[in-house]
Structure 1
Amino acid sequence: MAAPPLKLDLWTLVLLVAQWALFIGNIGVAILQPGELWMHVLVGIVPIHFAFTIWHEAAHGTVSNRRWVNHVVGVLGMLPYMTPYFIQRHVHLDHHRHLNEPGQDPNEVYAGGPLWELPLRYWRLVSAARKAVADDPRTSAMKRSDIFFLLLVLGIWGAAIITGTFTALFFAWLLPFVIAKAVMDVYINYLPHVGLPPDRYRGTRVIDVSWLTPLVLAHNYHAIHHLWPAIPWHGYKARFEKKQSELREKGVPIEKRVFAARAGRSRG
Structure 2
Amino acid sequence: MSGNNAASYAGIGGVGSQIWPLTGPEVVSRKKLKELRKRSDGPGLFYLVVHVLALIVSGLLVYVTSGTLWLQIPAMLVYGTVIVLTFAPLHECSHGTAFKTRWLNHLLGYVIATLTFRPFLYFKYRHAAHHTYTQHKDRDPDIVPFPHSFGDYLAQIVGAEFWPKLFGTLWRGSVAGFNEDEKTFLPESVRRQVANEIRLQLLFYIAVIVASIYFSSTFVLVYWLIPRIIGEPVLRSIRMAEHTGTEESPNLLANTRTTLANPILCQLYWNMPYHAEHHLASSVPFHALAKLHEHVVPNLECVTKGYINVHREILAKVLRKNSSSSSTD
- Structure-1-length-normalised TM-score: 0.76
* Stretches of structure 2 lacking an aligned partner (at least 5 in a row): 1-38, 67-71, 170-178, 318-329
Residue 190 of structure 1 deviates from its aligned partner by 0.7
- The TM-score, its normalising length taken from structure 2, stands at 0.64
The one of 125, 139, 143 equivalent to 1:104 is 139
- The alpha-carbon distance between structure 1 residues 20 and 230, as it changes in their structure 2 partners (threshold 3 A), is same
Tell me the distance in 2 between the aligned counterparts of 1:94 and 1:264: 30
Partner residue of 1:48? 83
Which residue pairs with 2:155 in the alignment?
117
Q: Indicate conservation of the 8 Å contact 2:270/2:286, yes or no.
A: yes
Tell me the CA shift for residue 233 of structure 1. 2.2
**Which residue in 2 is equivalent to 1:208?**
260
* Larger gyration radius, structure 1 or structure 2: 2
User: What amino acid is aligned across from residue 163 of structure 1 in structure 2?
Assistant: F
Q: Is the 8 A contact 1:57 1:233 kept in 2?
A: yes
Tell me which amino acid in the other structure corresponds to 1:253.
C
2:281 counterpart residue number: 228
Q: 1:186 aligns with which of 237, 246, 254?
A: 237
How many Å separate the matches in 2 of 1:139 and 1:204? 30
Runs of 4+ in 1 over 6 A off after TM superposition: 24-30
Q: Number of aligned pairs?
A: 249
The aligned residue for residue 88 of structure 1 is 123
1:238-253 → structure 2 map (5 Å cutoff): 238-245=291-298, 247-248=299-300, 252-253=301-302
Question: What aligned pairs does 1:135-150 form with structure 2 within 5 A after superposition?
Answer: 135=184, 136-137=186-187, 138=190, 140-150=192-202
1:72 corresponds to 2:107: yes
**What is the rounded CA distance, in whole Å, between the counterparts of 1:240 and 1:26 in structure 2?**
31
Identity %: 21
Structure 2 Cα separation of the partners of residues 140 and 49 of structure 1: 28
1:100/1:198 contact within 8 Å kept: yes
Task: Report the AA paired with residue 95 of structure 1.
Answer: H
**RMSD over equivalenced CA pairs, Å:** 3.3
Q: Does 1:172 align with 2:223?
A: yes
More relative contact order, 1 or 2 (CA 8 Å, 6+ apart) = 2
